[in-house]
Each structure stands twice: as C-alpha cells, then as structure tokens.
Amino acid sequence: MKKVVELNQVTVRFAGDSGDGIQLTGSQFTRTTAISHNDLSTLPDFPAEIRAPAGTLYGVSGFQIQFSSHKVHTPGDVADVLVAMNPAALKASLRYLRHNGVVIVNTDAFTGRNLRIADFEDNPLEGGFLDGYQVFQVGMTRLTREALDEVDLSFKEKERCKNFFALGMIYWMYTRPLEPTIEWINTKFAKKPIWAEANILALKAGRNFAEATEIFTTAYTVPEADIEPGIYRQITGNEAISLGLIAASDKAGKNIFYGSYPITPASDILQYMAVHKNFGVKSFQAEDEIAAIGASIGASFAGDIGVTATSGPGIALKGEFMGFAVMTELPLVVINVQRGGPSTGLPTKTEQSDLLQGLFGRNGEAPLPIIAAKSPADCFHAAFEAVEIAVKFMTPVLVLSDGYLANGAEPWKIPDVDQLPRIQPNVAHPGEPYQPYRRDEKTLARKWATPGTAGFEHRIGGLEKENGTGNVSYEPENHQLMTDLRAAKVAKVGEAVKEPDIYGDPQGDVLIVSWGSTFGTVLTVVDELRQEGASVSFYHLRWVNPLPKKLDNYIKNFKKVIIPELNTGQLSMLLRARYLVDIVSYGQMKGQPILVHKLKEKIAELIEEL
C-alpha cells in the first residue's frame, strides 16, 4: 500500500514536441483539477510554428499549472514535477523545475538522433546532468504501444496516444479521477470510436502503471479550496472576452458585429464569436486588419456595436481607422491581445509593450479610454465594461489583454446575468430635436442616430466637424474646441467608472503600482511581504486612460514607488512625467510572466535602502 501525502499546492509542467499533444494534456489536467475543486492558474507556453521540427529546442511546447487548496494568482515560479517527453523538452524545461523536484522522462525518446538535435553530447539520463532531482525513467512510447496491442492502428498512430499515458500517471500521482477525461475523449472522438478506445486505453494504462510499479512510492492529494459558493467553469481570457461582449450586447439591447483578421494570440476570439450567432452575433473574417476595423466602424454607424480584435502588429494597421472612430465619435471596441514585439516578434509569447502605442499610436490628438484586464476571468468584465463606456460616451475604447491572459485559464464564477447592470446606449429617439454633434452635458457624448431615420440625416467622415451641426469645418477656433471636447470626454470616463481601492495601508514604505496581467504576481508578493511585517501596499490600475484621481495622492504617500511591467518601463515613464515622482521601474522582456520570487527580491532591496 503506497502512502498518500497531503499538500497545500503543487506546480506541474508538461513539455514535449508540438506534435506530442502537450497543450491538450495540460488542458485536460486543468479541467480535471477544476472539477476537483482546487483553485488554479495555468501558463500554456508553445512555439509560434504550427509544427516545429520534431526534437528541436525551439520546437518545445510547454504547459504549466499551479493548483492549490487556497487562492492562487500565478501559474507558479517553479515546477514541482516536470514531465519531459524527449531530450529537447528536458533541456529547455529543466530551468523551470525546483531543486529536488520530480522529473518523469520518456526514455524511448532518448535516441542518438534526438540527443544530437537537442545538443546533448552525452545521454543526460546516464551522467550527472540530473543530479539534485528525483528522476523517474519510463518507456512511455513502448508501454503505450503495448497497451494498444489489440487496437487496429499503426505503430505511429499508437505512439500519438503517449500523452494520455503520461496524463494517466500524473492523475494517479495527484489522486485525480479519470472519468472527466474519459467523457471528454468519448465526446471528442464520437465519430472515430477507434481513437476514443485507443486514448482511453492509454490513459488507463498510465494510471495502472503508476499504481502497479514500484517506481512511484508516494501519491499526493491537494484538498479542495475554500471557494465562494456558485457555479464555476474553467475559462481562458479569450473565451471570457467573447462572453463579456455577448453579455454586454444583451444588456444594451444591441447586436454585436465582430470584424477581425486572424492573428496570434487573438484568433480564438473570432472562433468563439462565430459560433454564437444565436445571441445576435454577426462575425466577419476580413481580408486584412484595415478591412476588419473599417467594417466594424460601419456596423457601429448602422446601429450595431462594432468590435474588432488583434495584436500589436494589427493595431499598427488599424491606427488610421481608430483615429477615424475618434473623429466620428462612434462607439467601437478594439481589443489588443498583446504579444512580444517589435514586428512579428514573439507571436506566442506574452508582453505588455503596446501601452504607449494604445495611448499615442495615432496621428493628431486622438485620445481614447483604455481598460486593461488583470486575469483570464477578469477579461469578461473588462470586455463588458468597455462596451458600456463605448455606447455611453460614443467613443472607441481599447481593451488591453495579452498572450498570458488569452491562453491561460482559471476558475470563473459564472455571474448571474440578472445582476449585470443594464447598459443604456446614448441613442437618438425619433421626434427629438437633433443635431449630430449636440452633446450630453454630463458625458459630452453626441447622440447615436440610426441611418435611415427621418430627421437624423447627417454627414460622417474623417474631416474635422463643426461642433453641433457636424458640418465640415476648417475654422481654427472650432478645431481647438473639438480637440478639447474630445479630450474632456475621455477624462469624464474617469467619473463614470469605479476607481480601484488601495490594497494595504494608504501610506508607508513601498507602493507597487501595476496594470494588466502583472496583477497576480504583485498580489502574491504583497501578501507574502505583509505577512512578514513589511510596509508594502498595492495599487492596481484597471483604467490606464484616464488614470484614477486617487493615484495622485497615493503615489506621493510612499517613500518608494515601483512599477513592474512586461516592457522596458512604459507606465513608469508616464507616471514620472505626470506626477514628478522618482519611480523605480522593474521591466522584463522575456516573453514570460514576472516571477514572484524575483519581484519579491527587488522589493526587499528597496526596503533595505530606506
């Protein structure tokens, strides 16, 4: 009888070739972990190539998950367990494993050819390369083939099931049920029952191997997390954005028009939106980025809620039309799922380097509100709120997400739709006195007039408009007035949205200011430091334009202010200029989230300097 040890939290990393089904393996482990009522956070980490050359270091696909009996906010700094399907996966991923961590390797892949491709001179399983780790060598490929001996598939087809063999072993190690994955396999391969049979047999064979062999002496269990009661589902950031847009359209009583051109890591949003025509979604895959935003603005002009999504390179192409939406004062939601740059850059890696592009990447003075999601689940609320502001203030709104949020997953408490706020579009009603640029006193927004309605005829276009009439105007004083009004309208958004509360004391030694996906890392660091008695507080920006009014006071109430960002210090530069405070920038450009222990070390250094 093997012993079972209880743990509070665990981090597991799967790694292999792009063709090894690593992302599928990780997503199924995530799904089962969510069903087991653990809190979790994931980091899919894969190459840009659809099928990178097998066995190469740059072709390694990884998936990391941290799960716990308490709330977690990151996918973990280092893994407790690494499952490596080949030499390249071992070499590329060992850096993510803690000292004395568990390494499970597929020994069948450690051939002379694969060792050479991975730049190993000697077999790492036979020398001292893995000293300091608990190494378990398993012939996964051979054992999978043997388990599928009676299945009518070729050798290569049987080998493709080895990821489920590995998953079965990890299920046994962490006392996870097989049933959710078996149910998923049967649904996925309903039209190909032989593949369903093969994958289920491989899954069970992995579990049975771990149960029967003496290679594993201990299994582990992680108790259920104390989670707020409700109905939960696992959700990624891109899924959450899609559902947030659909919920907002329902609450606004308007259809969503989603125009997009596929680009990593935003493409999934188009796929999710396209399957929800039953909710009034009109999806359009355009021939390029410019056509996508142009069609979306046209839809907004016609009375739908126009939405488009892309990544940094696409924002560069959409810039002129974003300025056009500012000029025409039409509601539009633009979503930027940021990735590593510049140019094509790192398409599948995460970054926050498009903040300045979002704020200033258009010709002329073309301000627009910018909201940044902080977690995969929060992408729902960010998208919902962006629609709300766009139709209330008649303005384009930019939503900033990133690759980490887009592909990462966490439990999401499904909101009660009846409790979501009703969205009131600023619509012109027949019979009312109408001028196209007559403004609401509170919001400075013009009315949204549906084309074809008698009495609402007006000009639209990129030339400067006369305030009130909307006629084309080249008058100097009018251009100054319209420029000021457009800026004032964005500033008024700050009065309509909830300002964030400070986490911790309103004054002290160190204040950490963050935005976007660094939220989880910063919150974890602050909790740990405060438990150790440090005077550290945290202020997270949800709207980065306009900035919250309270920030001015908080930022001057601390001896040191630090801003961690996945860029070279863009927000730090902006806040230095605005508040004349010597802000410490903690920038990182690695295509990966900031590690908790690295940021904690930096904060500790600042405290020692005081």
Question: How confident is residue 217, by pLDDT bands cut at 50, 70 and 90?
Answer: confident
- Residue 49 predicted with pLDDT over 90: no
Same fold, 3-221 and 234-419: no
Give the CATH fold of the 508-609 domain: Rossmann fold (3.40.50)
Beta strands (DSSP E) in 489-535 are 508-515
Q: What angle do the packed helices 179-188 and 22-35 form, to 10 degrees?
A: 130
Structure tokens belonging to residue 243: 């559902």
- Whether 406 and 337 have beta carbons less than 8 Å apart is answered as yes
Q: What is d(CA 295, CA 289) in angstroms, rounded to the nearest whole number?
A: 10
Q: What is d(CA 397, CA 335) in angstroms, rounded to the nearest whole number?
A: 8
- As beta bridge partners, residue 203 has none
- Omega of the bond leading into 476 within 30 degrees of 0 (cis): no
Query: What is the tens place of the pLDDT at every residue in 339-387?
Result: 999 999 999 999 999 999 999 999 999 999 999 999 999 999 999 999 9
Q: What is d(CA 153, CA 485) in angstroms, rounded to the nearest whole number?
A: 69
Alpha-carbon distance values, 155 to 108, 111, 148 (Å) = 14, 17, 9
Higher pLDDT, 51 or 277: 277
Query: What is the tens place of the pLDDT at every residue in 486-527?
Result: 999 999 999 999 999 999 999 999 999 999 999 999 999 999
Higher pLDDT, 457 or 105: 105
Overall CATH class of domain 3-221: alpha beta
- Residue 437 predicted with pLDDT over 80: yes
Q: What is d(CA 248, CA 423) in angstroms, rounded to the nearest whole number?
A: 7
Q: What is d(CA 517, CA 586) in angstroms, rounded to the nearest whole number?
A: 14
Q: What is the mean pLDDT of residues 31-52?
A: 93
Spell 119-132 as b/e; 16+ CB within 10 A means b.
Answer: ebeeebbeeebbee
Distance, C-alpha 96 to centroid of its chain: 21
Residue whose structure tokens are 């013009």? 446
Per-residue pLDDT, 3: 85
Assessment of whether the complete model's pTM goes beyond 0.75: yes
Query: What is the tens place of the pLDDT at every residue in 86-128?
Result: 999 999 999 999 999 999 999 999 999 999 999 999 999 998 9
Nearest to 252 by CA among 228, 279, 272, 229: 279
- Residue 20 predicted with pLDDT over 90: yes
What are the domain boundaries of the chain? 3-221, 234-419, 508-609
Q: What is d(CA 457, CA 373) in angstroms, rounded to the nearest whole number?
A: 38
Question: How confident is residue 1, by pLDDT bands cut at 50, 70 and 90?
Answer: low
Give the CATH fold of the 234-419 domain: Rossmann fold (3.40.50)
Three-state DSSP at 441 gives coil
- As beta bridge partners, residue 514 has 540
